[in-house]
Amino acid sequence: MKAVVCMEPGRLEAVERGRPVAVPDGWARVAVSHVGICGTDYHIFEGKHPFLEYPRVMGHEVSATVIHPGASGLAVGAPVVVNPYIACGTCIACRKGKPNCCTAIRVLGVHTDGAFCEEITVPAENLYPAEGLSLEAAATVEFLAIGAHAVRRSLAHTGSRALVIGAGPIGLGTALFSRIAGHAVTLMDTSAERLAMAAGRFGFASGIVADETAAEEVRRVTGGDGFDVVFDATGYGKSMEAAFGYVAHGGALVLVSVVKDEIRFSDPEFHKREMMLIGSRNATRADFEHVVASIRAGHVPVEALVTHRTTLDDVPIDLARWATEKTGLIKAVVRVAG
């Protein structure tokens, strides 16, 4: 019986179960347990991802157990979260301790084959302990770390009024970690249904529908001041442009999502606010560890985030269905083993 193994970036192979696999120096081999399905995966499935060459094995939100620890210092069988951002280690970003924006970054499941398989090999330094978490919960850490990183990048202090635009998984993760940071959080989304879900499941009672009255509503709920920090997690250029107008004087706009479009804004409006514009990309080890600790402490309701489940055998059918059937969907998780 064979196991499908993502051996190293871009190389997929079937090997006999239990057969030793050559692991590159500095790398580790793990058995994949669970994989979250991301918006990126739906875009890849639909052929809409602009920076990807097909064929590609998807999957970058990964929990696993250690088979060959390499230089990780972890025990065989230890549960881990996999950081899917493979950095070069030598570029200017890496030298500054920012491997999340490495100039030659390769993300599992995007630039190179991912974890929709039974085993993978990854750099040993990309494995983080997941003790105290279920392996399903551990598969949510990567997407939550995106939001945790954005909140940390914002430099917003406790008590800040925060607006999170976009109530999808990344937006909800950002809102959760904004609240953990002590911010007063308001959500904005085009869907009143998603805002109601966010209120019912996560307690985000303050919500604004992103329609033609949104700017007026921002002024109303902030007494005309605007928000101290605005996070845009929509991946939609027009929303990102509109977000400039929601920022208070002296505040910050954090672009969590990325689009291929050009983003335009009024320089006088930008300057009169003396606002900061901050890009946020991926996450670092500190963000992953913050998320793990927050889940372990009960601050993140993972059971409310994971709404759909499937298996590796069924994911081709279910992913295709969920690409269009979004009602009630927040985060889908694929069980590979266990």
Judge whether 288 lies within some domain: no
Judge whether 211 lies within some domain: yes
- CB-based contact 60:99 (threshold 8 Å): no
- Does residue 179 sit in the same domain as residue 308? no
pLDDT at residue 10, as a whole number:
54
3-state secondary structure of 334: strand
- Does residue 270 sit in the same domain as residue 328? no
Residue type at position 231: F
> Which residues, other chains included, contact 323 with Cβ-Cβ below 8 Å and sequence gap of 6+?
42, 45, 46
- Does residue 20 sit in the same domain as residue 113? yes
- Does residue 214 sit in the same domain as residue 110? no
Judge whether 37 lies within some domain: yes
Judge whether 262 lies within some domain: yes
Report how far residue 86's alpha carbon sits from residue 27's, in angstroms, rounded to the nearest whole number: 11
Radius of gyration of the chain (CA): 20
Judge whether 293 lies within some domain: no
pLDDT at residue 282, as a whole number:
96
Residue 86, strand partner residues: 106
- For position 116, which CATH number holds? 3.90.180.10
Q: At what angle do helices 169-180 and 285-296 cross, to 10 degrees?
A: 80
- Does residue 239 sit in the same domain as residue 325? no
Report how far residue 157's alpha carbon sits from residue 251's, in angstroms, rounded to the nearest whole number: 11
- Does residue 134 sit in the same domain as residue 8? yes
- Does residue 265 sit in the same domain as residue 160? yes
How many residues in the chain?
A: 338
Range of the domain at 171: 146-279
Judge whether 291 lies within some domain: no
- Does residue 203 sit in the same domain as residue 129? no
- Does residue 9 sit in the same domain as residue 127? yes
- Does residue 130 sit in the same domain as residue 182? no
- Does residue 95 sit in the same domain as residue 218? no
pLDDT at residue 18, as a whole number:
59
- Does residue 124 sit in the same domain as residue 163? no
- For position 170, which CATH number holds? 3.40.50.720
Report how far residue 106's alpha carbon sits from residue 120's, in angstroms, rounded to the nearest whole number: 15
Number of domains in the chain: 2
Judge whether 286 lies within some domain: no
Q: What is the pLDDT along the chain (338 residues), one digit of tens a residue?
A: 456 556 555 555 555 565 666 788 899 999 999 999 998 899 899 887 767 788 899 999 999 999 999 989 999 999 999 999 999 999 999 999 999 999 999 999 999 999 999 999 999 999 999 999 999 999 999 999 999 999 999 999 999 999 999 999 999 999 999 999 999 999 999 999 999 999 999 999 999 999 999 999 999 999 999 999 999 999 899 999 999 999 999 999 999 998 888 999 999 999 999 999 999 999 999 999 999 999 999 999 999 999 999 999 999 999 999 999 988 999 999 999 86
Residue 23 φ then ψ, to 5°: -110, 125
Judge whether 120 lies within some domain: yes
